[in-house]
Structure 1
Amino acid sequence: MNLFDVYPLYDITPVKGEGCYVFDAEGKKYLDLYGGHAVISIGHSHPVYVKAIKEQVEKLGFYSNSIKNPLQDELAGKLLQASGIKDYKLFLCNSGAEANENALKLASFHTGKSRVIYFNNAFHGRTSGAVAVTDNEGIKAPFNKTHLTTCLSFEDAEGLENELAKGDVAAVILEVIQGVGGLDEASTEFYREIDRLSKKNGAILIADEVQSGYGRTGEFFAFQKHQISPDIISVAKGMGNGFPIGGILISPEIEAKHGLLGTTFGGNHLACAAGIAVLDVLKNENLTENASALYDYVKERAAEIPQIKNIKGRGLMLGLEFDFEVAGLRKDLLFKHQIFTGAASNKKLLRILPPLSIQKRHFEAFFLALKLELNNKSK
């Protein structure tokens, strides 16, 4: 094997996807409750999505950003309409880490300051600046530690106020619902205090919606529940349903200048075609509403299982917290019942991030398998 060995791999090779399922070379079907890490938003191989990419690649797959690309305008318009963030501008890139990198850079350009505040258990990506504001020392090289950053605890409003008052903070970056960190979400009061204090002290508020955006929480963006107004919003994952695309939505207070940001592949014709198809399906099939409705159903079913001590997250960005570490359970669900689930830094948390097109019958199969495995463990 010629690949650099950075991921522990399960011995499964999906070769086909359809809706909420993937299939291996032998035709074995797996229920996908992980969505490729919250990436599959509208379902695998959705016909609208496949048609859009196929038709676009037959016309023009790529040209540089030195020419006009009407697909970018169409994508931006539909995104702003779908999200309700109508006066923001879109910059397109290729991934969530790149989106956060550009958000941090733009905040520093705008404010003329260098320091960034982030929060414990945050994960914002693996590129240089994104790693510097990620609470995981294991992925920080010495180079990443040269950035000026300060990590605070969720709900530490006093600490935030004290740090912002020093006057050197370019940005505050947060995941409203933390993904890798374990689906934690702070109070509405705290998020509104972050918003107020950032604006008071001239710091840019960056909402990292890379995982929580695009309808996954039952609202288009997770921050909208708390009625705050980030200056920059980063998006990716569900934006392309598997096609690499990311972006930042930028408030009108931040000035655009030629040469400030740039990208070779960002916003290319194929990526935009994929992104437009995703937004069309989200709207036409009411998938954000589906995420909201299924949340209540999953909570009801999970409440029937005494080993589940807590349900974290919202919509279809969920964590089921058990009274034991779940690594073995995840493996049993995968190999005995052909069900993909996810993990988090909290070793007792089973992460559920399925396509937003999932239905009750899929969750019924999951809970049946879960109860069978828990019964086996209790014997």
Structure 2
Amino acid sequence: MELFDVYPLYDVAPVSAKGIEVKDNHGTTYLDFYGGHAVISIGHSHPHYVNRIKSQLEKIAFYSNSVQNPLQQELVELLGRLSGCEHYNLFLCNSGAEANENALKLASFHTGKSKVISFSNGFHGRTSAAVATTDNPAINAPINKQQQVTFLPLNDFDAFEKAIQSDTYCAVILEAIQGVGGLDEPTTEFYQFIAKKCKENGVVLIADEVQSGFGRSGAFFAFQHHGIQPDIISIAKGMGNGFPVGGILIHESIKASYGLLGTTFGGNHLACVATLAVLEVLEQENLIENARTLGVYFKQEAAKIPHVKKIKGRGLMLGLEFDFEVADLRKRLIHNQHFFTGGSKNKKLLRILPALNISKDHIDQFFEALNKELS
């Protein structure tokens, strides 16, 4: 048997990691400025995270959602307090795509409608309705294209107002900072306009915080930079620091009923303690403030590089846009300088998504390495 070949792979095989350092099978150490698609939020193998999971594994790793799991209640209370979203209810699942699937399904149940508004360069997952709302025809199969999705330009007030007046939409789904699409953002005025029009027209506003949530933007959620209140918030990636966890926060105005949503693995004991560990470290080590502060420092240092034409993003969800495609630069950063970075749909954009506990020294090392490859 062979692996189904769907990923182009770099010739690097990590075997251990600590903090933002990753060691491969040849003993070479790399600095991880990508975090495996923004997944590593509190650093690889954080001792509190490891101890939490080891301790839980010795007790019980899994049972289904047919019985009570007190860890879920512990999680919902801490998440509500740290995020400032006490007026929401939590449904746990396993991934970002699954989170957005459940968000879209719930919006359709709630409104009795089926069409969705999404935005150019948005990315919401690779499954069913989630991939249908993703602006990439290459990953949409004919079965996905049965979904009714309207793609609009980001920050186009007229196009949005015209579309939403048709009274056929169940949901608007939006990333406050586009991840795969290349770090573009709605303006505060546009995000607030969307929220206002959704409320006026009875449309569910879904804030996709799968990549930008859990402190990465310098706020707990990136939509909080804009002073709006979504109806549903989808979360995943950084919430488990590598353990597969996802979920949606559902405003209390949307009511639950038995059988409305369901999952076998979602909210299992290990998933809960992984997420609790992340939240505890975020609070104890003040990592959201660290992300905000170091995001400012990173941008200041990036502005000194003539090759950088635009600096995008917030906190430690950042992009450097050049006047050339960066694929070769990424390879050289890996093989010559031993730095992991990311790409995006924007081929000229270098994506930076390190753990939230990096230091100024790590950023200085990154720019030293980058300058070597640009000289």
Runs of 5+ consecutive residues of structure 1 not aligned to the other structure: none
**Structure 2 SS opposite 1:308:** coil
Q: Which residue of 2 aligns with 1:203?
A: 203
Pairs within 5 Å for 1:340-355: 340-355=340-355
Displacement of 1:166: 1.1
Q: How far off its partner does 1:296 sit?
A: 1.2
Match of 2:52 in 1: 52
Instruction: Report 1:179-190 matches (<5 A).
Output: 179-190=179-190
Q: Cα offset for 1:159?
A: 1.6
Counterpart for residue 113 of structure 1: 113
| Cα distance in 1, alignment partners of residues 113 and 156 from structure 2 | 22
Distance (Å, rounded) in 2 between the aligned partners of 1:328 and 1:165: 46
Q: What is residue 193 of structure 1 aligned with on the other side?
A: 193
Which residue in the other structure is 1:14 paired with? 14
Which 4+ residue blocks in structure 1 deviate beyond 4 angstroms? Answer: none
* Structure 1 residue 26: Cα displacement: 2.2
2:123 is aligned to 123
Q: Secondary structure at the match of 1:107?
A: helix
Where do 1:253-292 residues align within 5 Å? Answer: 253-292=253-292
Question: Whole-Å Cα distance in 2 between the matches of residues 86 and 61 of structure 1?
Answer: 28
Alignment of 1:291-330 (within 5 A): 291-330=291-330
Residue equivalent to 1:173: 173
1:37 aligns to 2:37 (yes or no): yes
Q: Distance in 2 between matches of 1:131 and 1:98?
A: 11
Matched, 1:337 2:330: no
Distance (whole Å) between structure 1 residues aligned to residue 48 and residue 3 of structure 2:
34
Distance 1:322 1:271 in 2: 39
> In structure 1, how many angstroms separate the alpha carbons of the residues matched to 2:303 and 2:222?
24
Taking the aligned partners of 1:67 and 1:164, their CA distance within structure 2 comes to: 42
TM-score (normalizing by structure 1): 0.98
Give the match's secondary structure for 1:90. Answer: strand
Cross-structure match for 2:220: 220
Separation in 2, partners of 1:183, 1:25: 33
Q: Which amino acid aligns with 1:179?
A: G
Aligned residue for 2:311, secondary structure, equals strand
2:162 partner letter: N
Letter in 2 for 1:259: G
Residues in 2 aligned to 1:327 and 1:131: alpha-carbon distance in whole angstroms: 25
User: What amino acid is the match of 1:220?
Assistant: F
Q: Which amino acid aligns with 2:73?
A: D
Name the count of aligned residue pairs: 375
RMSD of equivalent CA atoms: 0.7
Q: CA deviation at 1:261?
A: 0.1
Secondary structure of the structure 1 residue equivalent to 2:336: helix
1:199 partner letter: K
Once residues 182 and 201 of structure 2 are traced to their aligned partners in structure 1, the CA distance between those partners, rounded to angstroms, is 30
1:362 has 2:358 as partner: no
Measured in 2, the distance between the counterparts of 1:372 and 1:164 equals 49
After superposition, the C-alpha distances for 1:179-199 in whole angstroms (9 at most, x for unaligned) are 000000121110000000000
Per the alignment, residue 372 of structure 2 pairs with 372
Structure 2 length as normaliser, TM-score? 0.99
- Hey, what does 2:62 align to over in structure 1? 62
Q: Tell me the alpha carbon deviations over residues 150-183 of structure 1, each in whole angstroms, 9 at most, x when there is no partner.
A: 1111112222112211111100000011000000
Partner of 1:162: 162
Deviation track 1:219-244 (CA, whole Å, cap 9, x = no partner) reads 00000010011000000000000000
2:91 aligned partner: 91
Per the alignment, residue 71 of structure 1 pairs with 71
Whole-Å separation in 2 of the counterparts to 1:363 and 1:252: 41
- What is the alpha-carbon distance in structure 2 between the residues aligned to residue 335 and residue 370 of structure 1? 12
Give the residue type in structure 1 aligned to 2:191. Answer: Y
In the alignment, the residues of structure 2 paired with residue 148 and residue 332 of structure 1 have an alpha-carbon distance, to the nearest angstrom, of 42
- Deviation, structure 1 residue 214: 0.3
CA distance, structure 1, for counterparts of residue 347 and residue 164 of structure 2: 33
- Tell me how far 1:69 sits from its aligned partner: 0.3
3-state secondary structure, aligned to 2:58:
helix
Partners of 1:309 and 1:166 in 2: how far apart? 40
Report the Cα distance in structure 2 between the residues aligned to 1:135 and 1:295, rounded to whole angstroms. 28
Residue of structure 1 in register with 2:5 after alignment: 5
Q: Distance in 1 between matches of 2:309 and 2:164?
A: 37
